[in-house]
Amino acid sequence: LTSACGRGTPNGVAPAEGRGNGAAPVAVTTAVVLQKPMAVKLKSVGNVEASSTVEVRSQVSGELLSVDFSEGQDVRQGQLLFTIDPRVFEATLKQAEAALARDTAQAKNLEAQHTRLASLLKQGLVSRADYDSAAASAAAMDASIEAGKAAVENARIQRQNTRITSPVTGRTGA
């Protein structure tokens, strides 16, 4: 405080409250300001809950070959988490591909027979019933080929599902 406040003394120092005019001035210490990182720790009791969770489930059944993460580990989207034994699914895929190849070969044969019977029908050397039967067999085999393609695609998807990957980036739990 200075004497400008009205209570000053001739030397510019105000007297301490309640001590009268003869009190000694209070000593003040100063320090240089430093800027540095400071660890902030807060200890409390509570429950921690994730803001969002994703449940990972297998779409196929089989023997679990590997777990490729540790509980509490951070994972990226698409990172491999589990591997299920793919051998059964690979065999199913090969079987479906072989059945499709067989049906494709039979379809070519039936189509050739159908074409031959069409020219023989025009010449009157074969009955209409034989021609219609060959046409129906060729159409049925075409449908069988489409079913075989679907079986191959399904087998590929099943084999692909033996590798379970993380759907999101985050931290793994139990």
Per residue in 12-71, pLDDT (tens digit) is 555 555 555 667 888 888 989 888 888 888 888 888 787 788 899 999 999 999 999 999
pTM score of the predicted model: 0.65
> At residue 147, what is the residue type?
A
Tokens of 132: 């219609």
Q: Supply the DSSP symbol for 4.
A: G
Residue 1 pLDDT > 50: no
Per DSSP, 52 falls in state S
Of 146, 143, 134, which is closest to residue 109 (Cα–Cα)?
Answer: 134
Query: What tokens does 93 get?
Result: 């895929």
Two structure tokens written together for 145: 């080929």
Residues facing residue 64 across a β-bridge = 84
